[in-house]
Amino acid sequence: MEKQHTIGKSVSISGTGLHTGQNGTLTFHPAEINHGIKFRRVDLFGQPIVEAKVKNVVDTSRGTTIAQNGVKVYTVEHIMASLRGSGIDNVLIDLNCEEPPILDGSAKIMMAALKEAGIVEQDAERKCLKITRKITYTHPKVGCELTIEPADKFSIDVKVDYKSGVLNVQEAHMHDISEFETEFAPCRTFVFFQELEMLLAHNLIRGGDLSNAIVFIEKQVSEEDLKRVAGLFHKESVAVHEGGILNNVTLYFDNEPARHKLLDIVGDLTLLGMPVIGKVTAYKPGHFANTEFVKQIAKAMKVAM
């Protein structure tokens, strides 16, 4: 029998939100048994609560956004992944703006903060969802497929294919959640160079600064384009590494993009409200597909969303 867990003390992280560009502070607080994961918007009148549940997902454009009674919290997937990877069931998360800090584009810093706060066992049994039959979600237009089937523990196999000359077909495998902290939490989000200006034009990645994402370059890029992008992100210059990535970062793993996609799945699955016991196989996952998959699991297993 597994027990529920919370943290031993409050701990805060500050920084800039990736898409809104808002500077804010996120504070994890201990919470009582059966509390679950909840956000509290302390910047708003009445400090309204937004439950981290899949029923509250309202947008999946470049991240997972949740909302309750008109109150939004953007880009929650890395936080959710850090909590699942740390084995935390109950926590209250104060946020003084709409979007949590993106930090380095991974879950590593959040997990370090949670570890600093201390993981505390509580006197109540953890509720887990044990999968009893195969469940499949497909999105023919995108070509993605996610399945979960019965197993003795939680594991994930991921395969991504962007039909790209620089980002080849990649796979990532997590055999047990105990691997998450070292093998997947450090893996950062990524973007294609050609998407940057489009994302900026649509008021996205306003908090991007080329230190929190891997940037892949598929085509020949002129010096003029590189200078323009450097200017957009307030850099003196940027260049292209061998292998087709900007020189803003060095890869931690050859398959870091696939590992980050696995990180996102862990985070989005946590919106189910309890840990899942089953084997997940994902081909070309994304936040829309992930959250629709979670809804399908909840419906099939008769879990209240």
- Domain of 100 in residue numbering reads as 3-127
Domain count along the chain: 1
Residue 75 belongs to a domain:
yes
Lowest mean pLDDT, pick from 56-60, 173-177, 197-201, 246-250: 197-201
CATH number at residue 77: 3.30.230.20
188-213 pLDDT, tens digit per residue, is: 988 887 777 666 666 555 555 666 77
Q: Is residue 163 in some structural domain?
A: no
Which residues have a Cβ under 8 Å from the Cβ of 73 and sit 6 or more positions away? Answer: 39, 41, 50, 65, 66, 67, 95, 98, 99, 100
Model's pTM, two decimal places?
A: 0.92
Q: Does 119 reside within a domain?
A: yes
**pLDDT tens, residue by residue, 30-73:** 999 999 999 999 999 999 999 999 999 999 987 999 999 999 99
Residue with the bigger pLDDT between 159 and 208: it is: 159
Is 80 domain-assigned?
yes
Residue 145 forms part of a structural domain? no
Task: Tell me which residues are annotated as active site.
Answer: 287
Q: Assess contact for 290 and 99: CB atoms under 8 A.
A: no
Residue 39 forms part of a structural domain: yes
- The answer to whether residue 40 is domain-embedded is yes
Where residue 12 falls among pLDDT bands split at 50, 70, 90?
Answer: very high
Q: Is residue 110 domain-resident?
A: yes
What confidence tens digit (pLDDT) does each residue in 256-296 have? Answer: 999 999 999 999 999 999 999 999 999 999 999 999 999 99
